[in-house]
Chain A
């Protein structure tokens, strides 16, 4: 069995104080213009699943990056098994058994799953890698995390859930005693989330300690033993999860009382459809037809890989469609590339933020203003008025509470969730008439989610048509007027108004 046992744990309910596996004492970390961590003290006990929650930019990722050796410490101490440590890079943390599984997985996509799992620890003889041994060991470890895919497949061909499991398996292969999971369930379907939870519970049984970071609070409540709430670079509290409730957790996270999560739904006025999609097909996605009326929020539900993203990409012209027609305002439109789509007033927030949405080395302002750049430029010469642009961008991202000292900073200096908010602001500014949001709240904190929902509702009230794709059913149910459910590339059902419920959607997702 390759699953490592952590150091002999003192028993879960030890009465005397045990040395924590990991302890941070007064940690501080500053970046230019921002205090990312401010006197943070937290301890993680051996063998527990420790939840870590907080808004985007609350300092969770910074803390984890210090723990895993990515960042250095400005102030304070980090203790590993009671001894002060200061990692000079991730390899040192890994050597001691600390494994970070980041939200954006860093797998070698071109290599096989087995190679990824065994990366860096290939068994070899006389300098030759013993591939049979690699595959055998990888298979053994993969089975402990219920990864059933063929490990000879390239990682690029695995589903996001399987890729996540490959990362966990890799951590175990290197004998991790602390596994840190940052937003492990983003882009996973409900079933996959359940499977992942089972894996986490089994890790705990085998003595592996887990730090579990998620914006999905139900998951955190369900899975963790203790939970730490962070806000503005500080620790608000660490408590036994059993004594924690969701409303109280939310209040600690956002630092205020939390009203209705979803805005009130207003029925769209009866009008001619804004967008008419007829029989569009591409690859496994066949014959999709739907109308979108002004003021309407249409949900696309279904498992990851059921063809939801493919539909909006086709409509936006990001992928060419093999057949089918699209009409806007009753007139046929070509929509052969995103350029035409933007010109016609369509917006697409893509699912893959890092690969398709964010231009991380450009400034926040340049990212946000990109589709509407001409608006800030002198006619004829194309000279951009920086000041006008800055003001408009500041206003736009301000609606989503993106904290930044300047909009001229590179986008990469924002936390993942704040990047997402900035990208929503980008399309929000475009005056589009059809908005397509693919997983709009992925990695976004609970307070900001509320703002995004309100904004989506407002866009619809202003007469735009909105299509929302989400793996969080709660979101689809709370937000949409109408929901199309996808399964294996086909539309298998439509739910309206009061008929929309998580149960009804799930039933359609899985009905054979």
Chain B
């Protein structure tokens, strides 16, 4: 089983709170009233708990710091979250089928190295470098995905190995150097280009999300992926090529990693070590926070985006309040856990 579900499948979620308290013989009516109250609050929290927390955090920061709710700051937050959003959004797709991709950070790192070296060492122009990098991302995804789907070894394990491998590849390409010379101005400007007040990377993240929302929610492909995620054997017996669906999931991640790599290197105007490797965990934090939003227990693109934004805003707000990154991390982690727990409070009895 490679599938990991955030919450219970069963419609009959039963929490084991039968702690042994005896039921008072005449207590039935009161018990009834209490339950109906928690019955209505539970599902509400389950759906909107994260959103309410999000709103509370936004209100808190805007009261604390007047610089928080300004266009300049929001621009910075969105631009900073763009690459992460792309990664989290694409990772949502295999996650719907129960597949993790632990190699995505290194993958992005390698693709960043590729796009930059093509320009810096080979003298390619920005356009062709980007296109080739995206193609390479797709190829890596294809190889990884087919290996996982046909070997039937869990994606968690294979991508763990692939991550180590890609790390070596990246080191071979860059020799550990930061590469900043030889990047064309047009490439660097890519990240700075503004369009309707926001930078291009923000719009790219939005477009990627819209495409994925359409594919996963409204297309034949997405429906088939959902079927694979719901019951692999039933999907197979309905004539769906399960292996192909899972592979497509990883191809989407590969392409997304390439896009994220371009955003990161363009924003930094360079390729440096560990520019992307650290994004793995925040990206998955976004994915799992997203599964606690609106449709509890389900991975979905908009949820993921909200999750990523939530985490980014916390970081931004705390930074504005002059907290160190150690504090920021502790708070982010704690809020993440609290949010995921909140969404489970609603697992009430039916």
Contact = CB atoms under 8 A, between A and B. Distances in A.
A263 interface: no
B227 interface: yes
Nearest to A72: B349
Given A91-B18, A342-B238, A343-B239, A413 B231 contact: no
B189 interface: no
B181 to A, nearest CB: 43
A409 B301 CA distance: 21
Given A89-B18, A91-B18, A362-B230, A356 B219 contact: no
Interface string B143-166: 000000000000000000000000
Chain B, interface size: which category?
35 or more
Contacts of A71: 12, 349-350
B239 A84 contact: no
Interface string A318-345: 1000000000000000000111011100
A83 B27 CA distance: 12
Given A88-B17, A338-B238, A350-B237, A412 B349 contact: no
B218 interface: yes
A343 B15 CA distance: 44
Nearest to A373: B220
A355 B237 CA distance: 11
Nearest to B228: A359
Contacts of B218: 383-384
A341 B241 CA distance: 12
A73 to B, nearest CB: 7
A87 B230 CA distance: 31
Interface string A50-92: 0000000000000001000111111101000001111111111
User: Which of B214, B226, B230, B235 has the most C-beta atoms of chain A within 10 angstroms of its own C-beta?
Assistant: B230
Interface string B231-255: 1011111111100000000000000
Contacts of B240: 339, 370
A359 B227 CA distance: 7
Contacts of B12: 65, 70-71
B25 A359 contact: no
A370 B225 CA distance: 11
Interface residues of A, number: 52
Given A72-B35, A92-B18, A384-B223, A338 B236 contact: yes
Contact of A89 (B15, B32, B219, B221): B15
Contacts of A298: none
A408 interface: no
Given A89-B349, A362-B227, A377-B220, A318 B239 contact: no
Given A338-B236, A357-B234, A413 B11 contact: yes
B52 interface: no
Interface in A106-159: none
A487 B223 CA distance: 40
Given A88-B18, A341-B239, A412-B11, A359 B234 contact: yes
B26 interface: yes
B235 to A, nearest CB: 7
Contact of A360 (B15, B223, B224, B230): B230
Nearest to B219: A382
Contacts of A382: 219-221
B28 interface: yes
B239 A88 contact: no
A326 B245 CA distance: 28
B44 to A, nearest CB: 14
A510 interface: no
A361 B9 contact: yes
B349 A356 contact: no
A70 B350 CA distance: 8
A382 B221 CA distance: 7
Given A77-B28, A83-B25, A359-B230, A377 B219 contact: yes
B200 to A, nearest CB: 26
Interface string A369-393: 0110110010001111000000000
Contacts of B236: 318, 337-338
Interface string A248-271: 000000000000000000000000
A90 B14 contact: yes
A316 interface: yes
B172 to A, nearest CB: 39
Nearest to A386: B218
Contacts of B298: 361
A92 B17 CA distance: 10
B219 A381 contact: yes
A69 B18 CA distance: 10
Contacts of A318: 236-237
A357 B237 CA distance: 8
A188 B60 CA distance: 63
Contacts of B25: 83-84
A360 B231 contact: yes
Contacts of A337: 236, 241
A384 B218 CA distance: 6
Contacts of B23: 85-88, 92
B237 A348 contact: yes
Contacts of B16: 89, 91
Contacts of B268: none
B41 interface: no
B239 A339 contact: yes
A88 B35 CA distance: 11
Interface string A197-235: 000000000000000000000000000000000000000
Nearest to B214: A383
Nearest to A90: B14
19 contacts: A65-B12, A70-B12, A71-B12, A72-B350, A73-B28, A77-B28, A88-B17, A338-B236, A342-B239, A355-B231, A358-B231, A360-B231, A361-B9, A361-B230, A371-B239, A382-B219, A384-B219, A384-B223, A410-B11
Given A71-B12, A361-B298, A426-B238, 10 more contacts: A65-B12, A72-B349, A88-B18, A89-B14, A339-B239, A350-B234, A356-B234, A359-B227, A383-B214, A410-B11
Interface of A: 31, 65, 69-75, 77, 83-92, 316, 318, 337-339, 341-343, 348, 350, 355-362, 366, 370-371, 373-374, 377, 381-384, 410, 412-413, 426
Closest A-B pairs by Cβ, 5 of them: A342-B239, A359-B230, A382-B219, A382-B220, A89-B18
